[in-house]
Amino acid sequence: MKSIHVSTTVNGDAVEFICAPDESLLDVLRNRLGLTGAKEGCGTGDCGACSVTLNGRLVCSCLVLGAEAEGADVGTIEGLANGDALHQLQQSFIDHAALQCGICTPGILVAAKALLEKNPDPTDTEVRYWLAGNLCRCTGYDKIIHAVQDAAQKMRSA
C-alpha cells in the first residue's frame, strides 16, 4: 500500500504527515504527531475516548481515516487550553473532581466543548444524552454533569 501525503491543520497549526491509506486519524495523531491526548478505548466507535473535532464537528477519530484530514481543521484536547490558561471546562472538571483515572477526560472535554458551542444552556438531560457516547467507568457521571453545567453557567456569564 502506498502512503498518502496529507496537509492539514491541527489545533490551529499547519501540519503535514504521511500515513497508510487505512490508518485511522487516531493512530496518526498518537503515533505520527505525538498527540497522545486522544485515547483508544475500543477502536470501534463505542467509547468516545478518541473524540476530536473535524471542521468543528465532533467525531470518533478511531473511525476517521488520517487521509480524510486533508485540508481540514482538526481540534484535539491539546488545543483546548489557551497556552497557560485552562478552558473553563478544564477548570470546572478539576474543581468538581469530575475525573478519577482521567482516561475518559480528554474525550469528554472535547465532546462537552462541542455541546456548549451548539447549546450554551443545556438541561442536565441534554448533557447526559450528548455525552452518552463517552464512556466513563470510574465516576458514575454525576460529577461530570455538574462540572459541565458549572462551566456552562460560567461561560454564559463571562
**What is the radius of gyration, based on Cα positions, of the chain?**
16
Q: Which of 123, 132, 154, 156 binds other proteins (CB under 8 A)?
A: 132
Q: Across the strands, what pairs with 15?
A: 8
Q: Show the binding pattern over residues 84-123: x = contacts other proteins (CB under 8 A), - = does not.
A: --x---x--xxxxx-xxxxxxxx--x--------------
The amino acid sitting at 104 is C
Would you count residue 68 as binding ligand FES (CB under 6 A)?
Answer: no
CA dist 57 and 54 (Å) reads 5
| Residue at grid coordinates 470510574 | 138
Would you count residue 139 as binding ligand FES (CB under 6 A)?
Answer: yes
* 18-47: contacts with ligand FES (CB under 6 A): 40-43, 45-47
Q: Which of 29, 74, 136, 145 binds ligand FES (CB under 6 A)?
A: 136
CA dist 63 and 50 (Å) reads 9
Question: Are 48 and 107 a contacting pair, CB within 8 Å?
Answer: yes
Closest distance of CB 60 from other proteins, Å: 12
